[in-house]
Chains A and B, each alone.
Chain A
Amino acid sequence: MSRRDDEIQEEIAAHLALAIADKMARGATRAEAERAARAEFGNVTHVAEVTREVRRGVWLERLGQDLRYGWRALRRTPAFTAVATATLALAIGANSAVFTVVNSVLLAPLPFRDPARLYVVSYLPTNLPFEVPPGLDDRLYLEYASHVKRFERVTGYQRQELTLSGAGDATRLPGALVSASFFEVLGVQPALGRAFTHEEDQAGNDRVAILSDRLWRSRFNSDQSILGKTIVLDGITRTIVGVMARGFTFPAASDVWTPLALRLDPRNSFIFPVIGRLRADATPEQARSELEGIALGRPQDPRSAEPRSAARIIPLKDTVVGKTRTSLLVLAGAVLFVLLIACANVANLLLIRAATRRHEMAVRVALGASRGRIARQLLTESVLIALIGGAVGILVAFIGVRALLAMAPAGRIPRIDEVHLDGWVLAFTLAVSLVTGILFGLVPARSGARREPQEALGQGTRLVGGPHHRLRSVFVTAEIALALILLTGAGLMIKSFLLMRSLNTGYDATGVVTMSVNLPSIAYPDAGRIQAFHTALVERLARIPGATRVGAVSFRPMEEVGIMGDFWVEGATPFPHGFSVDKPTVSPGYFAALGIRMLEGRDFTPIDRAGAPGVVVVSEAVAHRLWPNERAVGKRISMQEPPGPNDWLTVIGVVNDVVQDAQLVPHSTIYLPYLQTNTPFFMSQMTFVVRPASGAGQIAPAMQAALRDIDPSVPAQDLRTMDASMMDTIAEPVFQMRLLATFAFLALLLAALGTYGVLAYDVTERTREIGLRMALGATPGTVLRMVLGRTAVLALLGAALGVAGSLALTSVLTKSLFEVKPTDPLTLVAVTVVLLLAALVAGYLPAQRAAGVRALTTLLLHE
């Protein structure tokens, strides 16, 4: 509009300039010429105004007319309007709901100051046997933090869980250890109090804490005078120095922050994530080569045999969003398919409606409406439908987002607390509605306007087939194809889920309940006290009525953490290169409690304690790998490098392999007896496993009571069944499966409705023809077969296209599938059968009606 205004102004200026030049050429002075030209021209503002109105008025006036007319037309056909808008509301709403999540998780900037300049810094060996999150080791971090130039500042942190005691019941809190510069680098400030000082970031001065707004409100009643008060975290009394602003919970869902206060350990290094704020004039590549320079410039650690490390500078957002990106994009794609199917459906409805409005349109053409005007009118109607659908869709999205969040596995989708409907979602919905309206309205509008008036005005003319007939078939075929692709995706996920559920995990989860404890180092500083606690708790748990077997393990299957590593084998047996085993610490009876079978040898007993000969139990895979043709029992290994004479551990038993984590593959494991372990680190976190007798009822409360008996200051964590832990481990694919299944079901329903609608209309349109056939001797059976045959042709064509589409597209699911190929033929066959059946059901009703057509009546009725 304003460009147009400028043009009009310029045109008028040009007119005046030309007039002045003319008059001056004929001898007038400039002043005279200007005055005369202006007088001749008249009121410049007025001319500009009326000219502008020409441009604007026509457009607006026609739009207003079209809208009014469209609205009246829609109200005349309430059934059509209701079905079309409901279809669109569902599809647009589903899209807006998914977009809401995608926008908040993937698109929205992180809620920090200038988040695009925040990067995660990593320098780690590239050939580790397992995946490690990016990070720096403590020595490199200190070196790097004092030399880095490309980053304004860097900061390290480490997620942790802490036990809060002293304020109500003891609970576990998610939190983080952070460098003093943490809040400054992110560009956030405490709402109350202050961030940590550099003095507090030194070991010994670090007994301070900062709380989240959420914790401050829920646990401390929004106490305004909380600064300077103390809390007890993991048995350590800390002074509260700050409360963060509402909504700040980074990293993950932290509720409490304490200083990182690095203590260097001469034997071990500690690796943690490091974030830097890039200088405005630096590039990530410069930062990367600087990091490499600093890392390589250090004196080499002689013990380190890992020369191959990679320096990486990763945008912070990428590490926060992580793997969620792919699954969210898959969902966005799936829900887009639903929208396309809805579009095809509504387009078909419009085509059918256009056919019934032939007469109306013909009259308008005959009265002088141009084709373009009619096309625009029809398009306005379809956009109007889409806009109404979109408006209702916002409501659907509102409910949909809540359902999505309720379904989402806890703690698996990053930034989930930031998910909300906002202006972007509204804008998205509006844009989608407009595009949808144009998309499904375009074809009916074009073909509606093309109709010749004579054809439609001629009374009683019944055309069989024709361009609409073909178009409708194309839309139905496309719908079926799209629905089949979604069904295949859902089918693959369901099959994968069933395989996961029937997976032989190596343990027997039936009824088993587990409870974890984390013993604070203040109260449990040494191995002796920790072992005493474990022994006492195992004994106490065994006395619970209904508990048949009890055991303890440092990390159970389906837990997110674990300890892995290599070891030393006695004798000539070469240690397999790159072989790495799980090293859990267990109590006697653990195998029986979890239903892990002893294949050879014996379980640990209380005799296997400090001072007695060192023993281990290995899993089948370890035995096969190390001693393929020999008995494993009696062989010796060591966890020390190189082993001294007293460091050898004798294999006393072999158990079956157990699935340990979300990869769902059996692990090679070496079990160590907790009574022979002297490192608190391997035991302070312990999970207790109780197998109840069948029909023992709720055993969890008794387990919690048992823990209180032993030490009331230690909270029970993760008190749950083993089966729930398994479900939690596969929560992400299950979430994806549920959503895909929902969308696929919606797609199937829409496609079936679409097929039904088109066939039903076909039958209505062909009633006379069918009646004629009947009169000429066709039986209801032939007519039924004829309509069903047409259904089958459409469905088969759609299915063929859908199978081709599935083969091309389902590879995006590869990472979410367990032991199922994205091209699994069985799944493809199964979903094709389901779809064909649905199509035939949809076609059966109209077919039956066609078969019921009575020969004579139709002929009479229509003449």
Chain B
Amino acid sequence: MPTDSHGLSRIELLQGTLDLIILQTLRWGPRHGYGIAQMIRASSHDVLQVDTGSLYPALHRLERQGWIAADWSTSENKQRVRVYTLTAKGQKQLERERSQWEQLSRAIGAILAPPASAERES
């Protein structure tokens, strides 16, 4: 039985971040809810584990906003699943959020790792 206990504490996601992650995940193609959760977990090396109580409301909200589209189809093992696809609008939104995120993370990165000169000046 596989285990995810690497001793690392799981990180809780902010709402805006979850949206970004979902959109990013769907860039690689349509996926159902379970698949999205697995993918997030796998691509974050098991650090990020999405709570279903956040994932599904987020999926339905993104769908309402028109950033992703949903449709029913059948999975490889004959399970009827609701599959989400990134829309053109979602694609644009992803780019926007990505750049915002990059700005934010650069800014936070700058704050957390200040150059020695800056520290001296202040």
Contacts and interface: CB of A to CB of B under 8 A. Distances in A.
B56 A51 contact: yes
A47 B1 contact: no
B1 A51 contact: no
A11 B32 CA distance: 9
Nearest to A50: B57
A47 B37 CA distance: 14
B7 interface: no
B64 A43 contact: no
Q: Is the interface of A mostly helix, strand, loop or mixed?
A: helix
B56 to A, nearest CB: 4
Nearest to B77: A21
B99 interface: no
B81 A8 contact: no
B52 interface: yes
Chain A contact residues (Cβ within 8 angstroms of B): what range? 20 to 34
A284 B71 CA distance: 48
Contact of A11 (B37, B61, B82): B82
Contacts of B57: 50-51, 53-54
B1 to A, nearest CB: 6
B79 interface: yes
Given A18-B79, A32-B1, A55-B64, A8 B56 contact: yes
B121 interface: no
B60 A51 contact: yes
B34 A54 contact: no
A54 B70 CA distance: 15
Nearest to A44: B52
Contacts of A55: 60, 64
Contacts of A47: 52-53, 56
B32 A14 contact: yes
A435 interface: no
Nearest to A32: B1
Contacts of B61: 54, 58
Interface in A456-495: none
B51 interface: yes
B16 interface: no
B64 A14 contact: no
A15 B33 contact: yes
Contacts of B60: 8, 51, 54-55
Contacts of A50: 53, 56-57
Nearest to B80: A14
A41 interface: yes
B2 interface: yes
B75 interface: yes
Contacts of B34: 14-15, 18-19
Interface string A4-19: 0001101110110111
A203 interface: no
Interface in A1-41: 7-8, 10-12, 14-15, 17-19, 21-23, 26-28, 32, 36, 41
28 contacts: A7-B82, A11-B56, A11-B82, A12-B52, A14-B32, A14-B33, A14-B75, A14-B79, A14-B80, A14-B81, A15-B32, A15-B37, A18-B34, A18-B35, A21-B77, A23-B1, A26-B1, A27-B1, A32-B1, A41-B52, A42-B52, A47-B52, A50-B56, A51-B56, A51-B59, A51-B60, A55-B60, A58-B64
Given A18-B35, A42-B51, A47-B52, 15 more contacts: A10-B82, A12-B56, A14-B32, A14-B34, A14-B82, A15-B32, A15-B37, A15-B52, A18-B77, A23-B1, A42-B52, A43-B53, A46-B53, A53-B57, A58-B61
Q: Top 6 nearest A-B pairs by Cβ distance?
A: A18-B34, A51-B56, A15-B34, A54-B57, A54-B60, A14-B81
